[in-house]
Each structure stands twice: as C-alpha cells, then as structure tokens.
Amino acid sequence: MSYTQLLTPEEKLAEAKRLLSLPHIVVICGSTRFLAEMNEADLRETKAGKIVVKPGIDMKSPRGLRSDPVDAEALKGRLDDLHRAKIRLADEVLVVGDYIGDSTRAEIVYARSLGKPVRFAHPEADPDA
C-alpha cells in the first residue's frame, strides 16, 4: 500500500507558483517614510522581471485615514495582517531605507521565521548584521 505525502500549505503554494510559471516574487518592506525609495526599488525589481508587492497605503499621509483614532488603529491592524500575507506569498523580502523601526523589524523577524531570504537596500541597516 502506498501513502501519499501531504504537502504543507507553503509547499502547495510553491508548487502552484511553479505550475503557473510565476516569476520570482519580492515584497518590499520598510518605513513608509521611504516611499520614494520603495518606488525606485519597485522599478528596478520589475525591470529585472520580478513581481513586486509593497505597502499600498501610507498611514502617515494626510488623507484623513488617521482622523478617527479607533478606525486608524483598526486599519493599521488590517494593513499589518495584509503585509504579513504579502510576505507569505513572496519568495524574497527587500528592505528599503537606512532606518529599521519596530514594524519593519517585526516584518524581518516574521520573514526569517518563514525561511524567506531578506535582502537590504542598505546592508548596514540589517539589525542582525
């Protein structure tokens, strides 16, 4: 009797990406104060043939997203969850900016806990270097 080996969700995702012939996926992490650098990194990575995902909302921008503190905190929680999902989807993490705050540090720790390679646009910013 043969037994089929059950795949982990991560293995299923990797196999699906392979079957779909998806290019390498990189997620950009960093403080939203570095949005211009994120956009430049997006350009370089896309030009290199990679799929790029990055933060979609800057909570520091004056769009009224922070006008209600309760709503803003709830939105930040949802955005954090969404960004962790982007990290799970990605093949690699690219950290931009020369400053690593608490949120970015938590994303780095999370990515590394999943075995994702983490690359730094500013290698001197690597908290584990």
CATH class entry, domain 22-125: alpha beta
| pLDDT-based confidence at residue 70 (cuts at 50, 70, 90) | confident
| pLDDT-based confidence at residue 65 (cuts at 50, 70, 90) | low
Q: What is the average pLDDT across 111-126?
A: 94
Q: Is 61 left (phi over 0), alpha (psi -120 to 50) or beta?
A: beta
Q: Which residue has the higher pLDDT, 99 or 68?
A: 99
pLDDT of 58 higher than 70: yes
Q: Which residue has the higher pLDDT, 16 or 64?
A: 16
